[in-house]
Amino acid sequence: MIYQRVALIGLGLIASSMAHAMRAGGLAGEIVGHAKSAETRDVALKLFCDRVTETAAEAVQGADLVVLAVPVGAMAEIAAEIAPHLKPGAVVTDVGSVKQAVVDAVAPHLGPGVHFIPGHPLAGTEYSGPQSGFATLFQNRWWLLTPLPDTNAVEIARLRRFLEAMGANVDEMDVARHDLVLAVVSHTPHLIAYTMVGVADHMRRVSAQEVIKYSASGFRDFTRIAASDPTMWRDVFLTNKEAVLDILGRFAEELFSLQRAIRMGDGEQLHAYFTRTREIRRGIIEAGQDTAAPDFGRAARPKSEG
């Protein structure tokens, strides 16, 4: 057992998966949960919480670890509500996809006796809600921590041990760098996937039927990315605005350059570009972040993996 009492604020995919993983590994003495919706609380009590509470303030009382697992836009309000009820010495972490906005929203509310260690698990599925969690979601996934300069090293080490016990690989990085890296590897790709799916949706000359039927030829992978939780992603784009707009600007420049090459019939430019992008892919396979199996994302996937 690493923490005696853990409070989960917000009971969606990430929090429910954490609870299942904690139970599987015997990592917490008691798991207390809070969600705004009574229905969600009922599901959580049945599936993975020892106790649920009607308010966040109640949930955090006596908790050694408090996990803020609500959309980034809701963090400030929750932090203000729970702050007076936190146990001295408690660790507060979060699972938001952007970090500067969470630090700005949460840190000002917390007293000096509380250890705030912002975090972000790079794990997810296209499903949301308390029934979508499973114990192995974090297995071999990165969990980034962005501790502030003056954070207690002993508590950082304890939180790392806890996350590693759930199967995650933990890395620490600077808040601003986190937001830029994620804008490149996650936020902008998601926006682009949403956009492409939106274009297909609007195409009146191509029926939705045909788009769906022949989706395996590339489009399907976009729809998987574009099916993630709308509220979470709205907040990501509103709160990591600067980095996302920067990367989007670069994306538009590159796209227009390729579009021009198509219009002008410049096959050399296209070929050189497509050859370069193969290299990054090779790097990912060599780094063990994907398999080299010649499958193009077609295979049926197990419910959870190692």
Nearer to its own copies, 4 or 234 (CB): 234
Tell me: does residue 134 bind its own copies (CB under 8 A). yes
- State which of residues 47, 73, 107, 156 lies at the interface with its own copies (CB under 8 A): 73
129 near its own copies (CB under 8 A): no
Judged by CB under 8 A, does residue 93 bind its own copies? no
Neighbouring C-beta atoms of residue 85, cutoff 10 Å: 18
Shortest reach from residue 232's CB to its own copies, in Å = 9
Taking CB under 8 A as the rule, does residue 196 contact its own copies? yes
Give the number of residues in contact with its own copies, rule: CB under 8 A: 112
Site string for its own copies, 247-266 (x = CB under 8 A): xx-xxx-xxx-xx--xx-x-
Select from 80, 83, 122, 170 the one that contacts its own copies (CB under 8 A). 122
61 binds its own copies (CB under 8 A): no
Of the residues 142, 164, 170, 175, which one makes contact with its own copies according to CB under 8 A: 142
Largest CA distance in the chain: 67
* Of the candidates 174, 78, 66, the residue with the CA atom closest to the CA atom of residue 116: 66
77 binds its own copies (CB under 8 A): no
Q: Indicate the residue among 148 and 212 with the shorter CB distance to its own copies.
A: 212
CA-atom Rg of the chain in angstroms: 21
Could you tell me the strand order of the sheet in which 28-34 lies? 51-53, 28-34, 3-9, 65-68, 91-94, 115-116
The nearest distance, CB 180 to its own copies, in angstroms, is 6
Task: Tell whether residue 234 is a contact of its own copies (CB under 8 A).
Answer: yes
Q: Is 213 in the site for its own copies (CB under 8 A)?
A: yes
Q: How far is the CB of 205 from its own copies (least distance, A)?
A: 7
If one asks whether residue 280 binds its own copies (CB under 8 A), the answer comes out as: yes
Shortest distance in whole angstroms from residue 208 CB to its own copies: 7
CB of 48 to its own copies, least distance (A): 15
298 binds its own copies (CB under 8 A): yes
Window 155-184: residues binding its own copies (CB under 8 A): 180-182, 184
For the CB of residue 86, give the shortest distance to its own copies in the complex, in Å: 29
Q: Is 1 in the site for its own copies (CB under 8 A)?
A: no
Q: Does 204 bind its own copies (CB under 8 A)?
A: no
